[in-house]
Structures are given as C-alpha cells and as structure tokens.
Amino acid sequence: IQRLRGHGLGVIIDGVTLEFLPYARVDKLAHDYMKIMLPRGTVQLLESGSRIRAVRKLPLERVILSQCDHESAIRIGSALGIRLYQGWHLDQYHGTPDS
C-alpha cells in the first residue's frame, strides 16, 4: 500500500456489504476510501441496528455509497453525512462523464 501511495495512487476497498460491515474491523485496513454497496433492496438495513452503528463509526468523508440506483440511497446517505456516491441514479439525473 505504501508503494502504491508513493506512486500517487490511492486504495479503495470495494464491494463492502451492509451485512458484512458490523463484523469487519475496517479500522485495521489501510485504505483511502471504502465503497459500501447500497442497492435498492438494502436501504432498510440502514434504518437501525448494528449496521447503522457500524456505518456511523466510519470516517464518513471516506465512504462512497455505491450501486445507488434509487433516490432513497442519496437521501439516507445525506442524512448520515455521506457526500460521495456512485450509481445509476446519479448517472440518470446528472449525466455521465461522456454526456
């Protein structure tokens, strides 16, 4: 990881699920960003419980909510203080880099 950073590259942990997050010790992993998948069927997992507590423990400025294919993902992410998103919903309403 230090070699990558020496070349100006960052490290992103990709593919993190809400089901996995309460059990992961992500503070032990050297990373610059973490992408948490939030497809339509999983938004309700952030409403309470161990998953929301696990998200709140993260440095939210380094969290990217991915697979955001619905407005509720943006709404709940914003309520949590997350500002980085990736997904079809954003591409549809805000355009892709190619458009």
**3-27 b/e with 16+ CB inside 10 Å = b?**
eeeeeeeeeebeebebeebeeeeee
pLDDT digits (tens, 9 = 90+) for 10-34: 999 999 999 999 998 888 888 999 9
The tokens for 58 are 């993260």
Q: What pTM did the predictor assign?
A: 0.81
Q: What is the dihedral of CA 36, 42, 45, 51, to 10 degrees?
A: -20
Q: Which residues, including other chains, have CB under 8 Å from residue 80's CB and lie 6 or more apart?
A: 46, 52, 55, 56, 60
Sign of the torsion formed by the C-alpha atoms of 88, 54, 84 and 5:
negative
Q: What is the dihedral of CA 20, 24, 27, 29, to 10 degrees?
A: -90
For position 99, what pLDDT does the model report? 43
pLDDT digits (tens, 9 = 90+) for 33-78: 999 999 888 888 887 789 999 999 999 999 999 988 888 888 889 9
